[in-house]
Chains A and B, each alone.
Chain A
């Protein structure tokens, strides 16, 4: 019967209620997590695997934990206050702090968005499609989906894209890694006290925990209208997102660690990794890798402009929401459009200094993350804001410790990257 989609048919098979619960669990946190595995993230994991083999897999466990703790707080703030991070910062910290954070946030996100479109261009070029075709087409799709779609449709679209990350899981298995060795390296890591090893470690942390993920998660929870009774769903959604992020990262490292590392092939980007895989594991593996990169860049190219528009609208009090039309929320959709246009437009120019842009984005995100985390902890412990949902004492020890470690690592990343520049 036309009009009855796959979804409806699955629902009738599964029994409606259970699926509804599953679907309401999956959403903002899952998407935010997956969007964290963007073009830059995949590049980093590919490099980590190629350079260090399985030597840094243990760090992924730590990252999962840190990400889960932070994303849960974002989800909790969104559910409890019904306000985005931008709203709370503006109301609790005033104009100065807000403008400073927003300036960094917009700048950082713009550079990352450019990198995502670069990822789209690079991955499509592996399939022989010129960037003058791939970039405008994907920019248009990303724009069209959000401007014309409603929240539910856009969320389902993004969840569907997130499932394409499975290509990395397949590539990981196809590499047929020595599982015992992998397990041994995770359980009993041999931590090397070398500069390059350590740098890769902190880059990996920096690329996985990025401010836009927290901004996006909180805003999306609010836009979705998750109620306080549904908080436990939101919590598991955030945890699931954190898990997914690292789960995918694990298979990327596994793939390049198994195939490229023993061969001594050093790569500097995700597309190089995809190319390097071809002679070793065949065209199919290489294509899977490239599709993964395309997909990751595409999802992040949607989430980043969205997170930025949410943040700006919240900070300055403009109407926002995916369900709104251009008339109802002109600034929100206006910034969204502008962001995509600039991000995609810059990539179309010849000789874009991509390395410099990536470096800038890492630096600015590195500056922003500590500020965001400290503000987040202050907000989440403010009884005026959170009521009974403030952090418990035990939670605070865990979160402050996590945040302190993250801040330390990002500070180190900042210092080393500035020194090496």
Chain B
């Protein structure tokens, strides 16, 4: 069984010497043959070129395969030169530099490099590198390029398309089609989906969105860069768009609507269900980068004289619709914030006790116009999962959860990079 470690880029091993058992050079690695495995084609053999003759070395004979050494278990003298069969799929010849198109045939990008990796113990073709990194790697300028771009404070991201999003390989392909079929898309994590969508063309994006169920679409939409969100909403019919917006948490829906032209946003809000529309409208009134703009209006709030037992029953009913269940807020009949309970407090308390008797008070709150940065610092300082936002009269208006300000809490490098085109 060949020994290989981690992921390998084809450009890193291309033209590397291939050694035999005795350490003699057989030739240079010319190409890699893969089977027609789905979704990840497994490596079946290496093609080694020595002068004008070729050797096809089955994967089972390979001993070491990595960036530095490629060696086989046989002796050079026992090998018989033979060209690869016409039906073989040679990844350098057949896949590298090929055009990637979407299902509508619009050109996206070319395959700049290919990534091999371990899938269940087999070396497989796992991804196509479509980024600048891939091109620089092919030119053997990756690290130099990186240092150069760092001078301009530009970080190259790695841009890959997993092979499971590409059509199965065949010999002599003229182009590779992105197979974002209905079925595959619905199995994808929304974040992965967002990655595909931001690579896709305008037409394609709308096509992809058309095939999604409303919930998945809502989640994927949230993962995208605001400008792309606006483009997509623009292309959908108003009914589709408002359905998707209703599915989103109000704060996220408000974010999306805030990026749209006022007229379009108005129209969509009109189409949304009354309750949802009301919440979104309220959120839209606040500046986007303040506590008011960040907050969600879906939280758990109970009256002070409710018993723990009733609260737990109520919690079960309301939990699906709220963003966090870790905090329960106690409000009076005018929705003024009286206290807070953690989920732990609630579970550990005796069932007949009233919430008033176990709640924590006073509560750490923020006014509506708190800057985003200050919200983040506040949450971090008091180790909160969410912070309630109140107006001048101490009326609870919403909560900001930690994930809404996570970007501000992390050091710049590890911040989530929103996917851009």
Interface residues, chain A, CB within 8 Å of chain B?
Answer: 87, 90-91, 94-96, 99, 313, 315-320, 325, 327-328, 330
Contacts and interface: CB of A to CB of B under 8 A. Distances in A.
B109 A316 contact: yes
A315 B201 CA distance: 18
Interface stretch (B20-28, B96-104, B301-309): B96-104
A94 B138 contact: yes
Given A87-B99, A91-B97, A327-B202, A96 B138 contact: yes
B106 A317 contact: no
A95 B108 contact: no
Most buried by A among B138, B139, B202: B202
Contact of B112 (A91, A95, A318, A327): A95
A94 B96 contact: yes
B420 to A, nearest CB: 12
18 contacts: A90-B97, A90-B110, A91-B98, A91-B99, A94-B138, A95-B135, A95-B139, A96-B139, A99-B135, A99-B139, A316-B109, A317-B99, A317-B100, A317-B108, A325-B202, A328-B106, A328-B201, A330-B421
Interface in B129-153: 135, 138-139
Nearest to A332: B107
Interface string B100-131: 10000011111010000000000000000000
B203 interface: yes
A319 B99 CA distance: 10
Interface of B: 96-100, 106-110, 112, 135, 138-139, 201-203, 231, 421
A88 B96 CA distance: 13
A interface SS class: helix
A385 to B, nearest CB: 10
A163 to B, nearest CB: 33
B107 A320 contact: yes
Contacts of A330: 421
B15 to A, nearest CB: 11
B201 A319 contact: yes
A335 to B, nearest CB: 15
A35 B212 CA distance: 48
A91 B96 CA distance: 8
Nearest to B132: A316
B169 to A, nearest CB: 16
A91 B97 CA distance: 5
Contacts of B138: 94-96
B366 to A, nearest CB: 40
Contacts of B100: 317
B319 to A, nearest CB: 41
Nearest to B112: A95
B216 to A, nearest CB: 24
Given A317-B108, A318-B107, A318-B108, 12 more contacts: A90-B110, A91-B97, A95-B97, A95-B112, A95-B139, A96-B138, A316-B109, A316-B110, A317-B110, A327-B202, A328-B106, A330-B421
A94 B108 contact: no
B109 A318 contact: yes
A315 to B, nearest CB: 8
Given A95-B97, A327-B202, A327-B231, A319 B106 contact: yes
A327 B96 CA distance: 27
B235 to A, nearest CB: 10
Given A95-B135, A328-B201, A319 B97 contact: no
Contact of A319 (B96, B107, B112, B135): B107
Contacts of A87: 99
A150 B138 CA distance: 36
Most buried by A among B99, B107, B201: B107
Contact of B202 (A96, A316, A328): A328
B135 A94 contact: no
Contacts of A320: 107
A115 to B, nearest CB: 30
Contact of B107 (A90, A96, A99, A317): A317
Nearest to B14: A94
Nearest to B135: A95
Nearest to B108: A317
Contacts of A325: 202
Contacts of A99: 135, 139
Contacts of A318: 107-109
A330 B107 CA distance: 12
Nearest to B109: A317
A99 B112 CA distance: 12
A317 B109 CA distance: 4
A99 B145 CA distance: 14
Contacts of B139: 95-96, 99
A201 B107 CA distance: 43
Contacts of A316: 109-110
A328 B201 CA distance: 6
A388 B100 CA distance: 26
Contacts of B107: 313, 317-320
Contacts of B99: 87, 91, 317
A95 B113 CA distance: 10
A318 B199 CA distance: 11
Nearest to A317: B110
Contacts of B106: 319, 328
B409 to A, nearest CB: 33
A132 to B, nearest CB: 32
Most buried by A among B110, B138, B203: B110
B316 to A, nearest CB: 46
B421 to A, nearest CB: 7
A401 to B, nearest CB: 29
B110 A328 contact: no
Nearest to B111: A317
Nearest to A93: B97
A95 B96 CA distance: 9
A318 B110 CA distance: 8
Contacts of A313: 107
A94 B202 contact: no
